Amino acid sequence: MKPKILITGKNSRIVENIADHMEADQGYRVRKCPADKYDIQDEIREIEPHIAIICTFDEDTESIKEYDVLMECNHFAGLPVIVVANKEDVNEFKSKTRLHEMYFLPRPVSIVALYNKLFEIERELGLDYEEEEEEKEPEEPEYRRYRDDEPRIKRKHILVVDDEFEQLAQMREFLREFYDVTCIRTGPEALEYIENHHIDLMLLDYMMSKMSGPEVLYQMRTKRAYANIPVIFLTGMTDKETIVKTLVELRPQGYVLKPVRKSDLIARIIDVLG
């Protein structure tokens, strides 16, 4: 499946040309919008694009800052942005913008150069499905066939990370009826685990000694591969100010106060996973 592309910029003629070409020729899912902060914001929230293209024209400081709203996409991981700009305007753009993952293509933009850049970004994002392949079930490691008493139903996989084994065991007790659950005691092990395993949600203890919950979440949000894994904090902290500050900065999907009742926990998980 092709990634979703948002195209914007003051050079509306180029925006139209590129959008038409990409949709018709390459089958991209494209959305165009005016170079206005609020229009861009609406599109981000509606389609959650994978890549943005800005077609610049006669930009000034104010107009360049309009594009900063693209930072809202994908939380900490940032949205890759292709900027079509004159060579002499590149430094000006870089100095005025807060965007950090940008790829510059010179005007007049060659459609071949644009597609090459898109393919490069798609490969990096893991979105480069050249052919429509049937998605194969990953081969089960041999040792797991030993689990012959486990039902073979596809369930959501929740990773619980807490340095207290009592809490891990309790979460396992609550969740195993509805979800596949893996329990891990440290942040570094959790980060190692998600590198090689798919999870649908992480329940993450806020206060841990080796690596705190916020540190784990920060690491995740800065790596594109796991930036979008939903995270719910488990916290015994009653300091609402600290909790809210972390929520605003790191944007987990919420938090629950320990000790938590099973019904409250399941309800919160359903809110996030459906």
**Three-state secondary-structure class, residue 254:** strand
207 binds another protein (CB under 8 A): yes
Residue with smaller CB distance to another protein, 9 or 213: 213
189 binds another protein (CB under 8 A): yes
Which amino acid does the sequence have at 238?
T
Q: What is the CA radius of gyration of the chain?
A: 22
**Three-state secondary-structure class, residue 233:** strand
Please select the residue that binds another protein; options are 69, 70, 184, 217, rule is CB under 8 A.
184
Please select the residue that binds another protein; options are 182, 201, 211, 214, rule is CB under 8 A.
182
Please select the residue that binds another protein; options are 104, 174, 226, 255, rule is CB under 8 A.
174
Contact 229, 258 (CB under 8 A): no
Q: How far is the CB of 169 from another protein (least distance, A)?
A: 6
Please select the residue that binds another protein; options are 116, 236, 244, 245, rule is CB under 8 A.
236
220 binds another protein (CB under 8 A): no
Q: What is the greatest pairwise CA distance in the chain?
A: 67
268 binds another protein (CB under 8 A): no
Length of the chain: 274
167 binds another protein (CB under 8 A): yes
Residue with smaller CB distance to another protein, 72 or 264: 264
Residue with smaller CB distance to another protein, 108 or 141: 141
Integer CA distances (angstroms), 16 to 6, 54, 104, 125, in order: 12, 12, 19, 25
Please select the residue that binds another protein; options are 100, 124, 155, 165, rule is CB under 8 A.
165
135 binds another protein (CB under 8 A): no
Residue with smaller CB distance to another protein, 60 or 192: 192
Q: How far is the CB of 260 from another protein (least distance, A)?
A: 8
170 binds another protein (CB under 8 A): yes
117 binds another protein (CB under 8 A): no
248 binds another protein (CB under 8 A): no
**Three-state secondary-structure class, residue 156:** coil
Please select the residue that binds another protein; options are 92, 101, 164, 200, rule is CB under 8 A.
164
Contact 40, 65 (CB under 8 A): no
Residue with smaller CB distance to another protein, 121 or 184: 184
Buried b (16+ CB within 10 A) or exposed e, 109-146: beeeebeebbeebbeeeebeeeeeeeeeeeeeeeeeee
Query: 3: which 2 tokens?
Result: 């990634």
Residue 257 makes CB contacts below 8 A (sequence gap 6+) with: 235, 236, 237, 238
Which amino acid does the sequence have at 147?
R
Binding site for another protein (CB under 8 A): 141, 143-144, 146-147, 163-170, 173-174, 182-185, 189, 193, 197, 207-209, 236-238, 258-262
